[in-house]
Amino acid sequence: MLPWSSCCPHSLINNVIVMQASLITEHLTILLSLAWLLWIVLLGIGLILERRSPAATLAWLLALLFMPYFGFLVYLLIGPRRLHRRRLRYSRARERLIQSTHPLRDDRAAPPSFAGIGLERQLATLLERSGQGAPTAARAVTLLETGDGCYAALETAIAAAGHHLHLEYYLWQPDRVGTRLRDQLIAKAQAGVHVRLLLDAIGSDRISTRFLEPLRAAGGETAWFNPLSLRRLRPTSINFRTHRKIVVCDGRIGFTGGINISDQHSAQSSGADAWRDTHLRIEGEAVHRLQFIFLEDWYFATNQAPFDPSFFPPFPESATHSWLQIVESGPDNSRQAIARLYFAAIAGAQQRIALATPYFVPNEALTAALTTAALRGVEVRILTPKHSDSRLVTAAARSYYDELANAGVHIHQYGPAMFHAKLLTIDDRVAMVGSANFDNRSLALNFEAIAVMYDTGLTTQLTRSFEADLNSASRYIRPGRRATFGRRFSESAARLLSPLL
C-alpha cells in the first residue's frame, strides 16, 4: 500500500499537467490556424482589390494557399503592394517641378508642335493622354550599339559639362568601367560641377559606401532608389526598381537606352562575350524630359527636389531635327503607358514589325497583338537571346514560341553572346529604344524610360541594325515531337510564373 499511496498523487498531478498542456497546445494550434487563415483571407481580399489581371491574381492566391509559408515569404519580397506614399511623393515632385519650370517656359517662344499624321499622330496622342509629354525636337540623335562606344560618348559629354551632371542607373558595377567613370565624376565634382548619382539598391548592390565615399568627399551627391529595409518586419519589395538608364549633362545632352555601367558591356574587358546592346545620345529639347524624370526620381529617393533654371536651358531653332517623345512608366502610375504604346504600335502596324528584347514574357494582350498582326499579313520578326542570364525567363519565353510561330511570327535567337538590346520598329516609320523589356516586370513593376522616335531615317537605321544582328542569330524551328518531356514540362511550368516575372 505504501508504494501506491506515495506514487498516486504524483501520477495524478503529472497526468493533469500533461492534459492541461495538451489542451493549451490544441487551443493554441486552433488559434494560430484561425489567425493564419484570417491573414490569408485578408491578403486574398487585398490581392483581389488590386484589380490586377486574373492570371496574376490567381497565381498569387494559389501560391498563398498551397505554399502558405514559402508563398507568404515570396509575397513579402515581391508581392504587389500599392505605393501610396511613393505616389504622393512623386505627385509632389511633379507639382514642384511644373511650378518651377512654368514661369521659365512662359518667357520663351512656343516651340514648334508635332504635326505627325496617321499612326505617328495616334501614338503621340495616346501617350499625351496617358500623362506623358508631347513630342519634342531633338537637334541630334546618335545610335550607340556597343558598350565601349557608349562609354566613349558618355565620357566626352561628361568632360564637356560645366554646370551639372545627373546620372541614374539600375546597374553600376565597381569594375574597370565603373571605376573609370566614377573617377571622372570625382574630377568634375572637384572642378565645381554639381554631380548627382542615383543608383538602384538591388541592381547596384555590389557598390559599397567605400566606393562612393571619394565622390561624396569631392562634393558629389549620391542616393539609393528604394533601398531594402526590415523596418516593421516588412522588407521593402524587390519589385519597384528603377530600371532606367539616364544621363543628363548640363540639360543639353542626354543618354538613355539599355546599357548599364559594367564590364559586361565592354569588348575591351569581356571580349567576344560582351553583351550586345543599344543606347541613344540625344541633344536638344527632348533632353528636358529626361531631366524631368531624373528630378522626379531624385525627389523620390531623397525627398529633395533641387531646381535651377539652367537645368532646362533654351535651344535655338534648328532647320533640321528629329521628333522624340520620352515615355516613362512605373508602378506609381496605373496607366502603364509603355505597355499601351507597345500594344497600339503593334496593332497599328501595316507592313513590318521588328522587336528585340532580352526578356520576352508577353502578357495575353501583347501575345494576341503579335499573332494577330502576323495573321493580318504583317511581317513580324522577334529577336531574343538564345540563352539569357536567367534560365527561368528563358524557359518561360520559349513556352510562347510555338504559338507565335504557328501564326507566322519569325523568331530568331541571338547567341552565344548575351543579347540585351530593347527596341521596336514599326513600318520604318516609328522606332522605340529604352530600358523596358517585353515582360511584366518592365511593363508593370519597375520604373522604365524609353525614347519614341517619329523619324524615318532613325527608324531605318535601327531596322538595318536589327537585320545585322540576325546574322548572329539562328531561326527558331518548332521541335515538334523531338522536344523532350522534361523540356516541355519545364517551359510550361515556367510559363505559369510569367505573371510574376
Taking only the tens place, the pLDDT of each residue in 221-249 is: 999 998 876 543 333 446 688 999 999 99
* Cell numbers given for 204: 547596384
Q: Does domain 337-500 have CATH number 3.20.20.70?
A: no
> What residue ranges of the chain have pLDDT lower than 70?
1-21, 36, 39-40, 43-44, 46-56, 58-94, 96-112, 229-239, 319-320, 479-501
Cα distance between residue 23 and residue 17, in whole Å: 10
Specify burial of residue 316 (Cβ count, 10 A radius: 0-12, 13-18, 19+).
Answer: exposed
**pTM exceeding 0.75:** yes
* pLDDT score at 119: 94
Catalytic residue, chosen from 188, 265, 412, 422, is: 422
* pLDDT score at 231: 45
Q: Does domain 84-119+138-320 have CATH number 3.40.50.720?
A: no
Catalytic residue, chosen from 164, 166, 194, 243, is: 243
* pLDDT score at 233: 37
Catalytic residue, chosen from 200, 250, 277, 297, is: 250
Query: Pairing mode, if any, of strands 379-385 and 352-356?
Result: parallel
Q: CA-based diameter of the chain, in Å? A: 117
* pLDDT score at 17: 67
420 is catalytic: yes
163 is catalytic: no
* Cell numbers given for 302: 531623397
386 is catalytic: no
Catalytic residue, chosen from 194, 245, 265, 288, is: 245
Other C-beta atoms within 10 Å of 191: how many? 12
427 is catalytic: yes
* pLDDT score at 226: 83
308 is catalytic: no
Coil vs helix vs strand at 181: helix
